[in-house]
Chains A and B, each alone.
Chain A
Amino acid sequence: MATKPDTVFRSLDRKAAAIVEFTLRQYRTRTSTWVVLGVGFTALALIFMIYIDVMGSEFESVDNDGDSFDYDGDGYPTGQELRLGTDPFSDESHPGMFNPPINPEPASNYINEDGFDWDVTASIGEQTTGYDNDGDCLNSDKTASQKDTNDNGIPCDIIIQITTSPTGQMSFNVIADDGVDEDPDEDAYSREATHIAFVLAIGKLGFVLLLGIFLPLFMATGLIREEMTSGTMHFMIAKPIARSEIFLYRVLGYLGIVWPYIIVLGILGALVSGFVGSGDEFFRFADLGVWLAIIFATMMATLVYGMMFNALGVLWKYGIILAIPFAAWELGMALLSMGVPDATILRFSVIGWALMIVDSAAMLVWPSLDMFILMGDWGGGGTGSDIFGSSSLRGSVPLSFFTSKPGLGLSAFASTIVATLVLLVQAVVFWFIGGVLFKGKEIQ
């Protein structure tokens, strides 16, 4: 047997390896571990199945500007009449009276006939963009003032005004010339928006919130406490090993089973959404960045919550009772971060920082997400496609709900780093607290 130079580190990691290995084997023998992991997998799988089903079905196309309808009953859709300069509200005036007469076009030609072609990014100020693909604005019959209803001197364009309030809140305003980008393609937009919203929702609520809180709640609360109540802790503390070390290594053992689980689930999620998601390419490689952030944020959340719930378990026999209100608080904070990502109170939560990592990644991967949401909200400015009379396109509301900006006012990259550091500090603080509590605990 070869003799190795021995250092404190060698000796420490021998103990660490022993406890981590022990903890993993202990988890393996418990049915509840497999039930919890299995239920988590099933629940996420269920949502992914619904997602696949939604992505596989057609998004209903809506005639946002209402020009496919033949109001005067002369057989010509309004759009065709407008384009050719006849009166759409009089059956005495239609292109069939032209010489030579023009045949009516099918109504479907006037659905989704003028999609978005915005080529600006969200920045403060007034910008002009847009192009009238179907020609119902550029139509030569119109006068110059008819072509420029938003009065900026450029015919057939869209003005996008972005302003910031003194509190830093951004507000958007879209003023379009009549007939510009007025009937976008719902299927293309909603598919993309639903996909992005799904990735963000499943990442933030499904992974970071549900997995991030419930896995530690089930698996970390009893790491020390269960050993103490069952009396087996005596074996461990009668060894030349500090109690805070036991605390740490037990948590490491817990992470040893939780982290691989999260990584596997995250990779499965990335694969499914990458293949099934919208877009022309075979696989959405760009999304992988967001999935990476989701996996990473969930791992950090399970680390911090694991340390915390373990410490709560050490603190009190009924540590779970302390953990449950905290979990409810975190749920509230998660919802708050969707609406007001820069609220100060979020800085006192764990989930606020973890979600910031996902938000930052979304900002890096989808830099024009703001404009994309704006397009959907504006939705062509038409008469509206849903029962509330809002013109916004399907998918844009959930997308804007689940999208938020990292609230620190830093760049995406800097926010990620700050959030990671804060989470690490939180984990260390809870380790320290747990270690101190454990060290001062009299074990009978």
Chain B
Amino acid sequence: MTEEFEQTIPEVLTEPDHEPEAPVTGKVRLEAAWGSTEGDEDLSVTENTAPRNEGHVFKQQYKPWNGQLNPRWMRNWAILRHHLLGIFKKGHRPWGVPIRLFLLVVFVASLTDVAMVIVSGLIGDSGLHSVWGVSRDNLYGHVLGFLPRNMLYYPVVAALLVGGVISEDRQHGTSAMYFSRPITRFDYVSMKFISVAVIQALIILVTLGLYYFAEIVSMGRGWAWILDTFPMFLATVISGVLLIFTYTSIGLALSSVSKGKFFPGIALLSIVLGTKVLAFIVSNLFDREILYLLSPYDCLAHVGQAIIGTQPTYDQYSWTWSLASLAAMNALALFTLSSRVSSMEVTRE
């Protein structure tokens, strides 16, 4: 090897034009650039000193890691915890101050009915209680009411959460950090899914529970009342879970197909609100409700009305159609998500 090296050097050095300080023009410069030297060596030094013949081979020692790999659920729990705790404190997944601020605002705003129930219990105003107390309609409204909750609160929360949850990992190259560890892609995605869903549940379901609890405490409800109302409370919880699941799966599917941070969020919002507005136009104009089947929110509301037992506002078709439509939407979203993630290239984009 050294012999070859020695042969090449003089070839270059015979031409004074190729010296580093020589004027470099056009063709000659290019020859110097693309010429036979490697380019990085200091030519003025190589001119004076002979190439060294010595070399070292360092002894390599590889020690296999003999530790015990934690069980799968424990590794997954670490991912989940990393995402969830990021909402509350530093040192975990950074969610961004505006997002956390918005979550706080929505959480507080979702507590309005709780506050009103407590107030009505304290001042003993039955009129106030009849408006705000726990009833089928109010339970429905807490989770599925359109204005303001499903227009301004919950879809926006979902949009902000799913916005960067997968796409940001791809953008920053941090998904490679996950995949270089003993974590399957399925686990990775499902933990992302669960963490986003749990954060939404903190806002939607926890406030719902607080609402129910506040009624029991402030109005001094007994077991009889609880036995009476528990089925509809449970139905509300189920419809809330359905809502969270649907928003999350659509949102994550969008997050997995896009690179940017804005796109999944806006796309989720435009799907939820856009289809709603279009269906509203059609049902108002032509008295046809068929387009509601395309709107995730309306399907959720229809199913919710059926299982909670409030007066249905969709009367042209059975709620099972809405349920089927929801199933189809979720299936499509989850299919997109899984196929995208399993074929995702772990590179920085």
Residues of chain A touching chain B, judged by Cβ–Cβ distance below 8 Å, are 32, 39, 43, 46-47, 50-51, 54, 194, 197-198, 201-202, 205-206, 209-210, 214, 217-218, 221-222, 226, 316, 318, 320-321, 324-325, 328, 331, 394, 398, 401-402
| With A54-B288, A398-B284: A46-B278 Cβ-Cβ less than 8 Å | yes
Q: Residues 252-287 of chain B: 1 if any A CB is under 8 Å from the residue's CB, otherwise 0? A: 000000101011011101100111011011101111
Complex-state Cα separation, A43 to B273, whole angstroms: 13
| With A210-B278, A214-B274: A318-B285 Cβ-Cβ less than 8 Å | no
Taking a contact as CB atoms under 8 Å apart, the answer to whether A197 and B285 are in contact is: yes
Taking a contact as CB atoms under 8 Å apart, the answer to whether A201 and B284 are in contact is: yes
Taking a contact as CB atoms under 8 Å apart, the answer to whether B152 and A325 are in contact is: yes
Q: Which residues of A contact B26 (CB under 8 A)?
A: none
Taking a contact as CB atoms under 8 Å apart, the answer to whether B98 and A54 are in contact is: no
Q: Which residues of B contact A209 (CB under 8 A)?
A: 277
Q: Which residues of B contact A46 (CB under 8 A)?
A: 278, 291, 294
Contact of A328 among B102, B152, B274 (CB under 8 A): B152
Taking a contact as CB atoms under 8 Å apart, the answer to whether A218 and B282 are in contact is: no
Closest A residue to B262 by CB, please name it.
Answer: A320
Q: Which residues of A contact B43 (CB under 8 A)?
A: none
Task: State how many angstroms separate the Cβ of A94 from the closest Cβ of chain B.
Answer: 39
| With A32-B260, A50-B291: A206-B266 Cβ-Cβ less than 8 Å | no
Closest A residue to B147 by CB, please name it.
Answer: A332
Taking a contact as CB atoms under 8 Å apart, the answer to whether B285 and A222 are in contact is: no
Q: Residues 142-162 of chain B: 1 if any A CB is under 8 Å from the residue's CB, otherwise 0? A: 000000000110001001100
Q: Which residues of A contact B269 (CB under 8 A)?
A: 324
Closest A residue to B151 by CB, please name it.
Answer: A328
Cβ of B16 under 8 Å from chain A: no
Closest A residue to B259 by CB, please name it.
Answer: A32
Q: Which residues of B contact A202 (CB under 8 A)?
A: 281
Q: Which of B274-331 contact A (CB under 8 A)?
A: 274-275, 277-278, 280-282, 284-288, 290-291, 294
Taking a contact as CB atoms under 8 Å apart, the answer to whether A321 and B151 are in contact is: no
Taking a contact as CB atoms under 8 Å apart, the answer to whether A320 and B278 are in contact is: no
Cβ of B222 under 8 Å from chain A: no
Cβ of B71 under 8 Å from chain A: no
Q: Which residues of B contact A328 (CB under 8 A)?
A: 151-152
Cβ of B220 under 8 Å from chain A: no
Taking a contact as CB atoms under 8 Å apart, the answer to whether B278 and A47 are in contact is: yes
| With A210-B274, A328-B152: A32-B281 Cβ-Cβ less than 8 Å | no
Complex-state Cα separation, A217 to B102, whole angstroms: 19
Residue contacts A-B, CB under 8 angstroms, 30 given: A32-B260, A32-B263, A46-B278, A47-B291, A50-B282, A50-B286, A50-B288, A50-B291, A51-B285, A54-B286, A54-B288, A194-B285, A194-B286, A198-B285, A201-B284, A202-B281, A206-B278, A214-B274, A218-B262, A218-B266, A221-B266, A320-B262, A321-B99, A321-B160, A324-B269, A331-B151, A331-B273, A398-B284, A398-B285, A402-B285
